[in-house]
Amino acid sequence: MNSTAIYREAIQHCRELLDRAQAVNLDEPIDFSLATVDADGQPSVRVLLLRGFDERGFVFYTNSQSRKGRELDCNPRAALCFYWDALREQLRVQGKVERVSDEENDAYWEKRPRLSQLSAVASKQSEILEDRQVLVDQVDELDVRYENQPVPRPDHWYGYRVVPSRIEFWIGRDGRMHERSIYEDSGQGWASFFAYP
């Protein structure tokens, strides 16, 4: 199998697994942990929601002035980890990170609930908030300002796409006889192999 076919197989496995997770009616079937690293090599991780997926990669949206946004600016690589306890399956992805197009950003922004738009405009994500009421008041003020009109997308709010260079599928088995299958781009093209659990 050539490199392109191996990558397509990995993406198809991802698609099937994400579909299966959504089919079993889990509370949050598309949430994942995103790990980033700052300029000093200090890692951080948080849970996000997957907002897009295709052969180009995995998309999430955020405030680029947040901690994760700043970390991705200085080190545009990340790792994702999805885990579905009900399925006993895990999906891990590593890769470089790129911004999605303005067209994609605007299209997704327009689909967001109005309150989510308002809070995204008001939030100085990751900065110190002395009192939660300050944020509530800011959202209320914005709601009045944009009454009967669309809430504009802030320039610092956009999507990121994690372009895979490594994808790992893990299936939990009794007796720690787990299955691990890995797809990896070594720089010479994509290859697939199994790993000990």
Out of 51, 56, 176, 180, the active site residue is: 176
Q: Which residues of 12-29 are buried (b: 16+ CB within 10 A; e: fewer)?
A: ebbeebbeebeeeeeeeb
Strand locations in the chain (E): 31-37, 43-49, 52-54, 57-63, 77-84, 89-99, 157-171, 179-185, 190-195
DSSP track, 98-132: EEPPHHHHHHHHHHS-HHHHHHHHH--TTS--S-H
46 catalytic per annotation: no
Q: Is the torsion defined by CA of 63, 67, 72, 77 positive or negative?
A: negative
Which token pair is 85? 């306890």
Closest CA to 165 of 140, 184, 191: 184
Q: 132-145 and 114-122 helices cross at what angle (nearest 10)?
A: 120
Which residues are designated catalytic? 176
